[in-house]
Structure 1
Amino acid sequence: MENFGRRRKRRDPWRLIGRSTVSFVCVCLAQFVLYLISSFCPSSNIILPLVLSVMALVGMAAIGRKFKRLFGLRGSAPAFVFANLLFIWCAYAIVIRQAVSSLLDIVFNIELIMLQIGLYRSVILSGDPGFVNYKPPHENPDSLSNNETHPEESERLVSDQECPSDESPLLLQRVRYCKHCDAHVKGFDHHCPAFGNCIGQNNHLLFSILIAGFITAEACYILGASQILTSSKGKKVDWNEKLASSTMIFSILQVLWQGVFLAWHIYCVCFNIRTDEFIHWKKYPEFQHINVQPQSGETVTGMKFKNPYDKGILQNLKEFFDK
């Protein structure tokens, strides 16, 4: 079997168990803090607990980094995602399910099952995002930084270097290097810590579907929790209403950042650009457009961003879904 450039280390099962345990404990602590915030904040005001929850989670993240430096305790981002899904699912079964309609119950449970399967496929099975075989180039990389090199020639050299020798450089000119996986990935967008894997040509569509699935499941949960809180107005707030409130706050925070994240990826798909390319476009000569502006008899040369892969929204979408 060919080596596609990813140098995998043998995973120590005890280390995985330890990191998963740390992640599970962190999830329980975070949810407990949100529960305390919901207990001391009035249920009629959602803004205050949202603000306090953000501050608390940011503070816990900072404390967690210090513990990591002091004691070497490390968690697992995929295990953290799994644990949060499991916690929300349990809270739904115990508190929320009794107050929602059958349709909402079916949609929510189907979404959770699909998310678990998708995460299992992406994380546990470590799906191939588009790893490609790579041979180090014979050219001197320092020569690419020479400003006297013609832009088209520089683009050709970079494309030849970054493409595997057994496939066409023209087809694989968007092969990028991921330092986390120590591998070259076709259509590399970014490395996702939550999946423990790169997002590339082979799993970009699955990644987008999973993000949309998270948003849908969390929106269903928010709707169900709001029904619990609405029915308890004017009554003594019990522990189950507090749990519904705290988990609803957590879901709202998740939907907010995931919605922005999904919108960004929809933009990238529509305009055929990758996150890595957008952020680090100065590293890739094909995105560097020379801008010449004569002023007072002098030639002023500047560099600006230009996407050579944008073929129009319809064609970009067609290429994305055909991969």
Structure 2
Amino acid sequence: MAVIGRRCKKLFGLRGSAPAFVFANLFFIWSVYLLVIHKAVSFLLDIVFHAELIMLHFGLYGILSGDPGFVKCGPLTNNEANLEGSELPSSDICEGSPSAESSLLLQRVRYCKHCDAHVKGFDHHCPAFGNCIGRNNHLLFMILLTGFIIAEACYIVGASQIATSRKPDSSGWTETLATSTMIFSLLQVLWQAVFLGWHIYCVCFNIKTDEWIHWKQYPEFQYIADPQPGETVTSMRFKNPYDKGIWLNLKEFVDAKG
């Protein structure tokens, strides 16, 4: 696996161990499906499963090698370099960013310490895909996540047919393999569905994962609340200046371009 990881890193210029594991996992599931499960599923389910796997391979290559929205900026100070998702310093000059661009848009250019780069619309760095998730590839990321869920759900349906057809006194390796991989796929679907739900929420309310976690680092998400009756101390609270309503937020997300 380490050799595959180094080859991925050389090929894509990325940290390749985690993406190599994703590809290896897809290949393993596909192999088990062809050897054990293929014979038990319907023609329609077989078509859907293979179509999803093919789409996933193309999508993974696209997100591995694609530009998430990198912006060339001036050098960082030592303090800024230590902050994951730190906002764009006002002193930096970014290539490709028009001078008339609003300050709010500039503030959504964040620094990723894993890639040592600023990313427009930075959501998070995804080790599994070996790249940042930003303005240019966030939609592709969600499509891939949905594809994984659909493919694994198809696999679970097929594997369950093998597992349930197992005789009580049978100890065949095919049934055991189908059952174990079905449980693994089920666990994958559970966390991926939650993760996809989180990103749908973020898109609907125009908030990034990094901004939600580190909102206290970004002044545009802060406002000072007046003291309540009987209190003498003000408090800092969260506000989202980018939320334009669900419909406009969805439109902005789909129309986002580098």
TM-score range, shorter chain: 0.7 to 0.9
SS at match of 2:170: coil
Give the Cα–Cα distance (whole angstroms) in 1 for the partners of residues 177 and 185 of structure 2.
12
Q: Is 1:321 aligned to residue 254 of structure 2?
A: yes
Point out the more displaced range, 268-277 or 227-236: 227-236
SS at match of 1:219: helix
Task: Name 2:123's counterpart in structure 1.
Answer: 189
Higher RCO (C-alpha 8 Å, min separation 6): 1
Once the two structures are TM-superposed, the CA of residue 292 in structure 1 deviates from its matched residue by 1.1
Q: Is 1:82 aligned to residue 68 of structure 2?
A: no
Task: Name 1:304's counterpart in structure 2.
Answer: 237
Out of 112, 130, 153, the position equivalent to 1:219 is 153
Once the two structures are TM-superposed, the CA of residue 293 in structure 1 deviates from its matched residue by 1.1
Q: Report the CA distance shift for 1:286/1:161 in structure 2 as closer, same or farther (over 3 A).
A: farther
Task: Name 1:132's counterpart in structure 2.
Answer: 71
Q: Report the CA distance shift for 1:193/1:158 in structure 2 as closer, same or farther (over 3 A).
A: closer
Q: Report the CA distance shift for 1:271/1:202 in structure 2 as closer, same or farther (over 3 A).
A: same
Q: Report the CA distance shift for 1:270/1:163 in structure 2 as closer, same or farther (over 3 A).
A: farther
Once the two structures are TM-superposed, the CA of residue 172 in structure 1 deviates from its matched residue by 2.6
1:261-300 correspondence runs (5 A): 261-296=195-230, 299-300=232-233
Task: Name 2:84's counterpart in structure 1.
Answer: none
Out of 163, 174, 179, the position equivalent to 1:229 is 163
Q: Report the CA distance shift for 1:162/1:310 in structure 2 as closer, same or farther (over 3 A).
A: farther
**Count of residue correspondences:** 238
Identity of aligned residues (%): 67
SS at match of 1:185: strand
Once the two structures are TM-superposed, the CA of residue 164 in structure 1 deviates from its matched residue by 2.0
Give the Cα–Cα distance (whole angstroms) in 2 for the partners of residues 111 and 224 of structure 1.
15
Q: Report the CA distance shift for 1:18/1:263 in structure 2 as closer, same or farther (over 3 A).
A: closer
1:21-32 correspondence runs (5 A): none
Once the two structures are TM-superposed, the CA of residue 163 in structure 1 deviates from its matched residue by 6.7
Which one-letter code corresponds to 1:318 in the other structure? K
Give the Cα–Cα distance (whole angstroms) in 1 for the partners of residues 246 and 6 of structure 2.
41
Higher Rg: 1
Does the 8 A contact of 1:162 with 1:175 survive in 2? no
Does the 8 A contact of 2:88 with 2:110 survive in 1? no
Q: Which runs of 5+ in 2 are unaligned?
A: 8-14, 81-86
Task: Name 1:117's counterpart in structure 2.
Answer: 58
SS at match of 1:241: helix
Give the Cα–Cα distance (whole angstroms) in 2 for the partners of residues 181 and 75 of structure 1.
13
TM-score (norm 2): 0.85
State the superposition RMSD in angstroms. 2.5
Give the Cα–Cα distance (whole angstroms) in 1 for the partners of residues 172 and 150 of structure 2.
27
Does the 8 A contact of 2:215 with 2:222 survive in 1? yes
SS at match of 2:51: helix
Q: Is 1:17 aligned to residue 33 of structure 2?
A: no
SS at match of 1:273: coil
Does the 8 A contact of 1:20 with 1:76 survive in 2? yes
Give the Cα–Cα distance (whole angstroms) in 1 for the partners of residues 182 and 92 of structure 2.
46
SS at match of 2:226: strand
Once the two structures are TM-superposed, the CA of residue 232 in structure 1 deviates from its matched residue by 1.8
Does the 8 A contact of 1:288 with 1:305 survive in 2? yes
Give the Cα–Cα distance (whole angstroms) in 2 for the partners of residues 16 and 173 of structure 1.
38
1:81-100 correspondence runs (5 A): 81-100=22-41
Give the Cα–Cα distance (whole angstroms) in 2 for the partners of residues 96 and 163 of structure 1.
56
Out of 169, 174, 177, the position equivalent to 2:111 is 177
Out of 184, 188, 211, the position equivalent to 1:250 is 184
Which one-letter code corresponds to 1:134 in the other structure? C
TM-score (norm 1): 0.68
Q: Report the CA distance shift for 1:87/1:18 in structure 2 as closer, same or farther (over 3 A).
A: closer
Q: Report the CA distance shift for 1:158/1:181 in structure 2 as closer, same or farther (over 3 A).
A: closer
Q: Which runs of 5+ in 1 are unaligned?
A: 1-14, 22-73, 143-156
Give the Cα–Cα distance (whole angstroms) in 2 for the partners of residues 176 and 158 of structure 1.
6
Higher share in helix: 1
- Deviating beyond 4 angstroms after TM superposition, the runs of 4 or more aligned structure 1 residues are none
